Structure 1
Amino acid sequence: MSYPGYPPAGYPPFPGYPPAGQESTYPPPGQYPYPSGFPPMGGGAYPPAPTSGYPAGPGGYPAPGSYPGAPPPGGAPAYPGGQGFGAPGSMGFPGYPQPPAQSYGGPAQVPLPGGFPGGQMPSQFPGGQTPFPTQTDPEVFPSYPAFPSASLDCSSEPATLTQGTQGTIRPAANFDAMRDAEVLRKAMKGFGTDEQAIVDIVSTRSNDQRQKIKAAFKTMYGKDLIKDLKSELSGNMEELILALFMPLTYYDAWSLRNAMKGAGTQERVLIEILCTRTNQEIREIVQCYQSEFGRDLEKDIRADTSGHFERLLVSMCQGNRDENQTVNYQMAQDDAQRLYQAGEGRLGTDESCFNMVLATRSFPQLKATMEAYQRMANRDLLSSIGREFSGNVENGLKAILQSALNRSAFFAERLYHSMKGAGTDDSTLVRIVVTRSEIDLVQIKQVFSQMYQKSLSTMIAGDTSGDYRKLLLAIVGQ
C-alpha cells in the first residue's frame, strides 16, 4: 500500500503503512504521518524519547533492531563523545547527521559492539575522537629520544624499522622481459652506446624484473648481459649498472667479500651491512657467501678483524637477534643499569656486556633501554659509548643503536658523508642507493632533507656527472 507523498524525501519506505483505507486521515505531505507524535521532517528528536526504544506501532513498523543501521532494542553502548545509538544527533537514522562517507560508508555499516564493518577500524570517529591509543599517546607509548647525535635532529621522523617504509623503485606494470632485453641489445649494438635507453630501463624495473631481463637476454641472444654491459660501460656508471643487476643478497655478499679481500679491510662496509640487516637477510647473506665464493663468512671476519670489533661482527653474522616487537620495560631498566655498571659506573669497561646486550636485544627493546639509560644516567647511551670505546668497535656499536632508533637517519648520514667535502665515496653512494631503493629510500630522502636542509638529489647532482648522475637521480627521484 502506498500513500502519495509518503514517505518524505530522506525517509525509508515502511511497507504496509498507512493501513489500507485510512490514507485520508493522515496529515498532508511534509509531516511524518504517525499518530505517536513524530516531528515534521528535519526537526525535533527521533525517536520522541530516548528511553522508549525503537517504536513499535500499528501497520508494519519495523521490529526493533531490524531497520538497516538501527540500534538494538534499548540502544547500544556509548559512541565516542558520549552519544549513544538512537540519541538525538547520533548516527543510523534517516534525516539525521550521518558519518562521513570516507570513514564508514553509510548507516548500514555503523560499527556495533561485535566489531567494525569488514573487520576494519574506522580511521576517524565523529568529532575527530578515537577510543584507541595512538603512538603519540604518552600514557601508552612512552616517547623515545630523537636520533641523538650532536649534528643531527630527527625527532620528527618516527623511530621505526618497517612501518610505513617505501622504496623509490617499484615493479613496472605491463612488464615484458623480452622486450626490455631487445631494447638493451639495440642500445649496445654497433658504434657507441645509447646510455639513455639503458638508464630508462634499469631505473624503472625492480631487482626481480632485472633478473628476468638478464635471463631473457641470454635466451634470446646466447650472450651474457652483464658481460656486454661491462664491455660498453666504465667507471662509476659501470659499477652502478652492475650493482643494479645483482640480486640483492648476492650484492651484499659480494660487497662483504670485496671489503675483505686483498690488502686492508673496509670496516665501514662490514658495519653498514652486518649491523643493519634483519636476521633472515643475514642468514641468506651467509649462505650466499658460502655458495657463491666458497668461503665461510665468519672465518673471513676472524681473519680480517680482531679484538672486540671481531667479536661484535661474529655476533652479528649469527643472525640470532631477538625480533620480538613487544618491549619488556623491566628488562630495559635492568639492561640500562647493567650497561652503566659496565661502563660509566666503573674504572675500565666491560666490553662483553655491551656486546651481549646490543647483539641480542630486539631493536624496539634497545630503544626502551636507551630511554631508561637516559633517565638513569642523565646522558644518552651513544655518548657513553663514545667515551668508553674507540675505533671500529665504537662505530659498530653506535651503528646498531642508530639503526634501532632511526634506520633511515643512519643511512642518510652515511650518504651525506659519502659526498661531503672534497671527493666522493662512490662505492658507498652506489651501495646505499641500490640496496635501499626498494625498501626505504623515500624515508631516507625525507630525513636527509630534515638533517641537512638540502635534498639528496641536489647533493647528488652537485657531486656527480654524466650518465652516472642521470642514473642515480632517476633511481632517487626528484
Structure 2
Amino acid sequence: MSVWDDLDLLLDSPSSLTAKPTTSGTIKEKPGFKASEDAAALQKAIEGIGTTEKTLIEILTQRSNAQRQLISKAYQEATGRALVDDLKGDTSGDFEDALVALVTHPAQLDCQEFIKATKGAGTTDSALIELFAAKSNRQIKSMSEAYLADTGRELSHDLKSEVSSDYGKTLLILVEGKRDESTNVDAAKAKADAKALYEAGEKKWGTDESKFIDVLCHRSVPQLRQTMVEYKSISGKTLQESIESEMSGKLEELLVAIVKCVKSVPAYLAERLYKSMKGLGTTESTLTRIIVGRSEVDLLDIRAEYTKLFGCSLYSAIESDVGGSYGDCLKMICGADD
C-alpha cells in the first residue's frame, strides 16, 4: 500500500495548508543578532582575495529571513552596494542561486519562481503545480502581491496567457487563494461530494472533470479529508487512484498534487525532493526552491516524511547527491542528519 492510500491517520493530522506558520522550520531567529556585525563579516568574505564561502554559508543559513533582510540593509548602508548583487558577482551556479534565494523575501522568491516557470519557450508545469498546490491562501496572496509590486501586472492575468483547458482553469482557481479555511466538517456534505465525484468519474463513461476541479479547489482541508474517506468506502478505490485511472496529462498531475497536499504537504514535498535527486542528474532548481523556501515553514516535517518514505535521511541524500559549497549550504539549511 502506498503512503498516499492510508486514510486512517488523515482526519486528525495537522495541515500546512491551513495551519498558521509553525515552529517546524530548521532555521530560527538567531539570539543576540547584530545586523551590522554580520554585514561587516560578509563584506570581508566577499571583498578579500577569493571569496570565503564558509563565512557566507555560516551567516546566511543561520539567520531567519527577517534577519537576513536587516543584514542586506546594513550591507547596503555600509558599502553602497546591494548584497544580492555582490553575491551574484562573487559566486556562481547553484551555490549563487541558493545564496540569492536566502537573501530574498519568501513572497518575492515565490514570485521569481513563478516568473522562471513561465518565461521562455514552454512553461515548467511541474514547478507551477508545486508552487500553487502546496501553498496556503495566505502564501498565494503574498506571492500575488509581490508579483503586482514587481511587474505592475496581475499574476492571474499573466498565468492565463500561459495555460489552457481544464488544467489552466484549475490553476487559475488555486491562484485566487479562496480555499475554504473553516475547520468544521459537514459529514453529510462529505458523503454527497464523494458520491458526486464517484458519479462524475468511476461510474460514468467519460469523466466530468469540472466536478473534481470544483470540489478539490474550494473545500477546506478537513472537509476534503472526510470526503476522501467517504469516497473510498463508496468506490473501493482512493480518490487519487480514481484520478490516476480517469485522467491524464497535466490535469491529472495537478489534481493528484492537490490530493497529496490535502493529505500532507510535507510528504508531497519530500517526494518532490526525492524525485529531484533520483536517477541521472539533479534538478537543483527544485532542491533549492523547496529547501530554502520551506526552511522556516515545515522543513523539519519534510525531513521526517523523507526518512519515513525513502528509508534514508534527507541530509544523507543531499550529501550523496550534491557537493561543493552548494551541497554544504543545503546541508546547513537542512540541519541534522536524522
**Alpha-carbon distance between aligned partners in 1 of 2:23 and 2:62, rounded to the nearest angstrom:** 19
Could you say which structure has the higher helix fraction? 2
Q: Does 1:148 align with 2:4?
A: yes
Post-superposition shift, 1:205? 0.3
Q: Cα distance, 1:190 vs. partner? A: 2.9
Query: 2:150 aligned with 1:296, yes or no?
Result: no
* Amino acid paired to 2:180: D
The answer as to 2:40 corresponding to 1:186 is no
Within the candidate set 312, 319, 323, 1:461 is matched to: 319
| Cα RMSD (Å) | 1.9
Displacement after TM superposition at 1:358 (Å): 0.5
- Tell me the residue number matched to 2:87: 229
Matches within 5 A, 1:67-106: none
Q: 1:161 corresponds to which residue?
A: 15
Partner of 1:378: 236
1:474 aligns with 2:332: yes
Contact persistence 2:306–2:312 (CA under 8 A):
yes
Pick one of 305, 308, 315 that aligns with 1:447.
305
Maintained 8 Å contact 1:457/1:473: yes
Determine the C-alpha separation between the residues in 2 that align with 1:470 and 1:153: 37
Structure 1 residues 337-348: aligned runs within 5 Å: 337-348=195-206
Contact 1:147–1:153, Cα closer than 8 Å, also in 2: no
Equivalent pairs, count: 332
Render the CA deviation track for 1:213-261: whole Å, top value 9, x for unaligned: 0001111111111111111100000000001111000100110011101
Provide, for residues 366-421 of structure 1, a one-character-per-residue CA deviation record: whole Å limited to 9, x for no partner. 11000000011111000000011111111111111111111110010000000001
- The structure whose Rg is larger is 1
- State how far apart, in whole Å, the 1-side matches of 2:318 and 2:12 are: 25
Cα distance in 1 between the residues matched to 2:260 and 2:252 = 12
Is the partner of 1:277 in helix, strand or coil?
coil
Partners in 1 of 2:36 and 2:23 — Cα distance? 31
Aligned to 1:392: 250
Structure-2-length-normalised TM-score = 0.94
**Which residue is equivalent to 2:295?**
437
Q: CA deviation at 1:156?
A: 9.9
SS of structure 1 residue aligned to 2:180:
coil
Q: 1:165 to 1:396 in 2, by over 3 A?
A: farther
Q: Distance in 2 between matches of 1:240 and 1:426?
A: 9
Q: Deviations over 1:264-301 (max 9, x none)?
A: 10011111111121112111211211110223211222
**Whole-angstrom distance in 1 between the partners of 2:182 and 2:23:** 19
The unaligned stretches of length 5 or more in structure 2 are none
Q: TM-score, normalised by structure 1?
A: 0.67
Could you tell me which residue of structure 2 aligns to residue 315 of structure 1? 173
Secondary structure at 1:209 match in 2: helix
Corresponding position of 1:270 = 128
Tell me the CA shift for residue 153 of structure 1: 10
Q: Which runs of 5+ in 1 are unaligned?
A: 1-144
Partner of 1:24: none
Q: Which amino acid aligns with 2:134?
A: T
Matching residue's letter, 1:224: A
Identity among equivalent pairs (%): 38
